[in-house]
Amino acid sequence: MTLATRRLGPFDVAPIGLGCMNLSHAYGVPPAPEEAAGVLLRALELGVTHFDTAALYGFGANEELVGRVLAPHRHRFTLASKCGMTGVDGRRVIDGRPATLKATCEAALRRLRTDVIDLYYLHRWDKAVPIEESVGALADLVREGKIRAIGLSEVSASTLRRAHAVHPIAALQTEYSLWTRNPEIAVLEACRELDVAFVAFSPLARGFLPGTLRDVSGFDAKDIRRAMPRFAPANYAANLQRLEPLRAVAEEAGCTLAQLALAWLLHRGDHILPIPGTTSVAHLEENLGAAAVTLTPAQRARLEAAIHQGNVAGARYNGATQTEIDTEEFSA
């Protein structure tokens, strides 16, 4: 394993990026602004060149944070954000109509304090709007110089191909980790065929894979994991048992469980770019160390046998959320 850069559409970036969501959204009370700023600046200092945010995160607050802290260093990194899922009157709304996407982009440019967003994703495909229309609107933004490249999030291989026929897609983003292997059904190979970067969000399984989250009974009321079946107490207790075989491999490889999980992803393909998120500088530094971890084929096989779609307890999303995404699912 080397520290060489990887391709993210037209950009060369460090192999591990930073998902910025945790700093404003999803896992309970976010850190204080100065602490969040410290994480962003330390990431930049350590060589992170791929920062990923979205209009949804904190209902604009995360883009504002990233803009305020990183705008003075804009030339040093690739900036990714997302549209198509935003906060409206305090509620999360999926809206892929062209006019909405363009308005969201204008607001994002102001919050991010930039003239152009390098990579702009359709955060969710609004199934009431043909994917061709939503991508067509993003193509207009490319022509207008407001975004440089187009991405998609949580879509299937077939939807990717439909979108790619309208305008080249630079990146596809979906959850991928040892305990969420859905991209292996079709999307990973489609990305390889079409020369699309695959960005893996939640590569540490929302805190599960590092092995430090033992008790899930005390989640904050606004923590999105409260509604995720895998984090229900009985399921989670069963899932914790899946970590035990991973500890032996981590010891052999001379790394932590978090580094092991990220290194496994990096070994899965040169077109895969994980974006772990964190509110901790110590965890940030730990995560980035994964780029120097080498795993043998035998070690990787042991990891894949220890935890996979056949032995994880609980679905990735609850029923309501599942209807909002377009990713392939394993047969029951």
Judge contact between 271 and 6, C-beta under 8 A.
yes
Judge contact between 47 and 14, C-beta under 8 A.
yes
Cα distance between residue 233 and residue 240, in whole Å: 11
Judge contact between 170 and 149, C-beta under 8 A.
yes
Judge contact between 232 and 314, C-beta under 8 A.
yes
Q: Is 27 a catalytic residue?
A: no
Quick one: which H or E segment has residue 122? strand 117-122
Catalytic residue among 57, 176, 236, 317: 57
Q: In terms of DSSP H, where are the helices of the chain?
A: 33-45, 61-70, 98-112, 131-143, 157-166, 187-194, 233-240, 244-253, 257-267, 281-288, 297-306, 319-322
Cα distance between residue 274 and residue 80, in whole Å: 13
Residue 139 to residues 17, 61, 151, 192, Cα–Cα distance (Å): 25, 26, 11, 22
Residue indicated by tokens 């069963």 = 238
Bridge pairing between strands 91-94 and 85-88: antiparallel
Return the active site residues: 57
